[in-house]
Structure 1
Amino acid sequence: MTHEFLPQEQWYAQLPAMYGSASALITDVDDLVLLVKPNYRDHWNLPGGVIDRNEAPHDACAREILEEIGLELPVGELLVIDWVPEVDPRPRPFVSWMFDAGTLSTEQVAAIRIQVEELDDHAFVTLDRALELLPSMVAPRVPAALRARALGRPIYLPKH
């Protein structure tokens, strides 16, 4: 019995594809969570954004932090992987990586300079307030990230 295999380019073309984003859990000395307010959306979000082609998720996270809040922060451990199935009009699943970018000192908080081309504001908020401000697809990442930081291991959040 002989098997016929697809040429590599056809095999790769038929594999499922997905979109990716990377964000950061950034807290202050009072354990408040940093959120940013994009000027192109009605809701708040976590610092981060879409991963560029061939960009590693942790590199995208560091790039987005620098772009959005003007701080060069070390991107630490992976805290959350969140898989969200495709929904209309988005034709592919979305995978989001959330990393620990640490706790900012009072001086670092004062040094934040938001990217005015994309952001209207930023705020350090309680977990409850973060859950109110974030879209329902993003909100579960924050308590999961705080739990992962405390446990010292990542948490997987599949949505169905």
Structure 2
Amino acid sequence: MIENDPLYKRDPEAWNSYLAEGNARQPRKRVSADLIIRNTKDQILLVNPTYKPDWDLPGGMAEANEPPLHTVKRELFEELGIEPKVGALLCVDWVSPHGPWDDLINFIFDGGIINDAQIEGMQLRDSELSAYEFCDEAQAQIRLRPYVWRRLSMALEALQTGCAHYLQDGFRQ
């Protein structure tokens, strides 16, 4: 226990320096957060990023020390001008290093069902997106990268069962 450590009791400033040094040496993780938003026809909102070849789920990368829940709210407002109601965590996916990227931890939350009036209020507000569209599962499977589709499938299962999933590269563990 920290309170029993002699350095902590003797010199709290030295203890904090010791902890800061350890923190500086520990690896950092990239974090992203996405949202599953459905329309009244049970179609899933996908976005078309301008900086990659495939469609994706709405959301994005966390800023330094930003909680994933705040990330997804910020990204949806910045990119589509909406303030989503974020529900339950559906899955967490650890994505292994690939290409120039280190590993990533992705969170997917339930964004619920939005009505036609809310959809009409959506607008592209960021040059990172060229389009958005509601798609059925078959369309989503074609448009998404395979590991993103696996992640989405597991998140949709979690919507049905109420049980969140831990994934690695989109596969249940």
Aligned length: 154
Query: Residue type of the partner of 1:50?
Result: M
The residue that corresponds to 2:107 in the other structure is 97
The residue that corresponds to 2:48 in the other structure is 37
The residue that corresponds to 1:18 in the other structure is 29
Query: Residue 15 of structure 1: CA displacement?
Result: 2.2
Check the 8 A contact 1:127/1:142 in 2, yes or no.
Answer: no
Query: Residue 123 of structure 1: CA displacement?
Result: 0.5
Query: Residue type of the partner of 1:56?
Result: P
CA deviation vs aligned residue, 1:66-114 (integer Å, no higher than 9, x gap) = 1121111111111110001112311x21000011111011111122112
Secondary structure in structure 2 of the residue aligned to 1:137: helix
1:77-96 aligned within 5 A: 77-90=88-101, 92-96=102-106
For residues 129 and 108 of structure 1, what CA distance do their matches in structure 2 show? 22
1:141-156 aligned within 5 A: 141-156=151-166
1:59-74 aligned within 5 A: 59-74=70-85
Supply the RMSD in Å over aligned alpha carbons. Answer: 1.7
Are residues 1:127 and 2:137 paired?
yes
Query: Residue 46 of structure 1: CA displacement?
Result: 0.6
For residues 42 and 75 of structure 2, what CA distance do their matches in structure 1 show? 22
Percent identical residues: 32
Query: Residue 28 of structure 1: CA displacement?
Result: 0.5
For residues 9 and 76 of structure 1, what CA distance do their matches in structure 2 show? 34
Are residues 1:51 and 2:75 paired?
no
Higher Rg: 2
The residue that corresponds to 1:3 in the other structure is none
* TM-score of the pair, normalised by structure 1: 0.89
After TM superposition, the runs of 4+ consecutive aligned structure 1 residues lying more than 4 A away are none
Show structure 2 runs of 5+ residues with no match.
1-16
Larger RCO (CA within 8 A; separation ≥ 6): 1
Secondary structure in structure 2 of the residue aligned to 1:25: strand
